[in-house]
């Protein structure tokens, strides 16, 4: 029975990943539209102003900063789950960058990240679970206590969700990337955008549903294992293994 349940769990995972891949294809179509609408010169001017303001006075370093890569959100059986506010508690300055779903903010984030790295500053980059191979969603520069957070409807946060906002005079700077797009081009493609968004939401919800089926099936297997596990002996094995390593 355990073998049958494991095979069923694998089946639901395969179906979920197929839906996720289909959602990613739709996402790429949205990305193409927004890339065409983006007013690049204005966006790069915005980024240059941010870099100048926040660390432009820091000299280029012979020793580049280090990059640590993380995830702040995940696609799960419970939907898109994120822990963004927990990253921002100790930040002095938080840039909250609002983008439409599908807009690739990666070029902006890469310039911000590289600008810090070339100045010898360590950077934490948090990647998009939909496109983890290339898309940076959030950046934290710990030494400067500055954060850059990308927001959309799947990971939307409000300034008052950051606990230190009222306690430590935290500076919140709102940036809306919709202001840096060709509104005529967006209006021309509004029906296509709406259709693609609908398809994307449908496919993503089917992903969640099949991940949930996989989770429920997997829990049935765990329910069989748990009563037959000797956790005391497992704990001893862990302790002995750690002792051997140390």
Contacts 24+ apart (CB under 8 A), 166-172: 168/92, 170/91, 170/92, 170/93, 170/94, 171/92, 171/93, 171/94, 172/94, 172/96
Per-residue confidence at 125, pLDDT binned at 50, 70, 90? very high
- Give the chain's length: 246
In sequence order, which residues have a C-beta less than 8 Å from that of residue 145 and are 6 or more positions away? Answer: 90, 91, 92, 93
Q: Percentage of the chain with pLDDT > 70? A: 93
Report yes or no: 15 and 8 within 8 Å, Cβ to Cβ.
no
Render pLDDT for 184-226 as a digit per residue (tens, 0 to 9): 999 999 999 999 999 999 999 999 999 999 999 988 887 777 7
User: Tokens standing for 237?
Assistant: 């094995």
Nearest alpha carbon to residue 29 among 197, 191, 230:
197
Render pLDDT for 132-162 as a digit per residue (tens, 0 to 9): 887 899 999 999 999 999 998 888 777 767 7
> How far is Cα 146 from Cα 135, in angstroms, rounded to an integer?
19
pLDDT-wise least confident of 54-58, 72-76, 102-106, 180-184: 102-106
């Amino acid at each position: 029975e355990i073998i049958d349940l494991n095979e069923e769990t694998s089946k639901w995972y395969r179906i979920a990943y197929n839906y996720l891949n289909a959602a990613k294809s739709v996402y790429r179509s949205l990305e193409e539209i927004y890339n065409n609408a983006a007013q690049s010169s204005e966006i790069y001017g915005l980024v240059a102003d941010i870099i100048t303001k926040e660390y432009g006075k820091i000299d280029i370093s012979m020793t580049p900063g280090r990059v640590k890569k993380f995830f702040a959100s995940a696609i799960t059986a419970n939907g898109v789950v994120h822990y963004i506010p927990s990253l921002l508690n100790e930040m002095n300055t938080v840039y909250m960058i609002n983008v439409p779903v599908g807009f690739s903010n990666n070029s902006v984030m890469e310039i911000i990240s590289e600008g810090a790295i070339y100045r010898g500053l360590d950077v934490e980059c948090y990647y998009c679970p939909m496109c983890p191979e290339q898309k940076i969603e959030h950046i934290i520069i710990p030494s400067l206590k500055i954060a850059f957070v990308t927001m959309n409807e799947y990971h939307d946060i409000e300034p008052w969700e950051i606990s230190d906002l009222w306690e430590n005079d935290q500076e919140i700077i709102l940036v809306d990337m919709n202001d840096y797009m060709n509104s005529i081009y967006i209006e021309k493609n509004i029906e296509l955008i709406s259709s693609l968004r609908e398809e994307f939401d449908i496919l993503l919800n089917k992903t969640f549903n099949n991940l949930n089926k996989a989770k429920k099936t997997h829990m049935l297997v765990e329910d069989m294992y748990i009563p037959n596990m000797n956790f005391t002996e497992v704990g001893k094995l862990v302790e002995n293994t750690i002792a051997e390593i140390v």
